[in-house]
Amino acid sequence: MKNNTQYPIHNTQYRKARKAFTLMELLIVVAITTILASVGISSYVNHQRAKLLDTSAQEIVGYLRYAQQKSIGQEGGNQWGIHFENPTDGDDFYALYTGTSYTSPEETRYLSSGIEYESPTAGNSIDVSFNKLTGNSATSTTQSITIKSTVTNSTTTISISGQGLISY
């Protein structure tokens, strides 16, 4: 009869040696992790770019409502408005002004990098002025400001109705 004591020792030694990963297994895990990380990062970056357009629209709407509230409150005894300008050279901006038309800004804000006006078109401007007490738009027609992302080519339009309703 054979002595079987060798086999369990041999099997145990084999199992101990087999506990490590091979180089090929490690490379496969690293490759899969890299692919998943790159997909996740690109998805996150695209989401951030889309969020930038929405955030810019929210800031403009907030600024329009700020001017509207100043007109309703007749701050300084004047009506207030926002001037949107898309210069042919330089950065697109919007500026708070007082009075019936834009002559000089009270405050100026620039659009974020990667965001630009589609309307007003290059070299043009749009003034949105609000009547005192009512907050209605000084024009009876609906005015629109369209901003676009230069990275994603998506757009958002902000509308100001004759009744002063601001939406996007």
Residue 84's φ and ψ, nearest 5 degrees, are -105, 125
Q: What pLDDT does 21 receive?
A: 79
96 neighbors 105 (Cβ within 8 angstroms): yes
Cα–Cα distance for residue pair 114/164, rounded to 1 Å: 29
Secondary structure (DSSP) of 91-135: --EEEEEESSS-SS-SEEEEPPTTEEEEESPTTEEEEEEE-TTT-
pTM value is: 0.73
HSE, side-chain direction, 13 A CA sphere, residue 64: 25
CA-only gyration radius of the chain, Å: 31
Residue found under tokens 């050279």: 89
Nearest Cα neighbor of 142 from 167, 121, 162 is 162
pLDDT digits (tens, 9 = 90+) for 52-95: 899 999 999 999 999 999 999 999 999 999 999 999 998 999 99
pLDDT digits (tens, 9 = 90+) for 150-162: 888 899 999 999 9
Cα–Cα distance for residue pair 110/147, rounded to 1 Å: 12
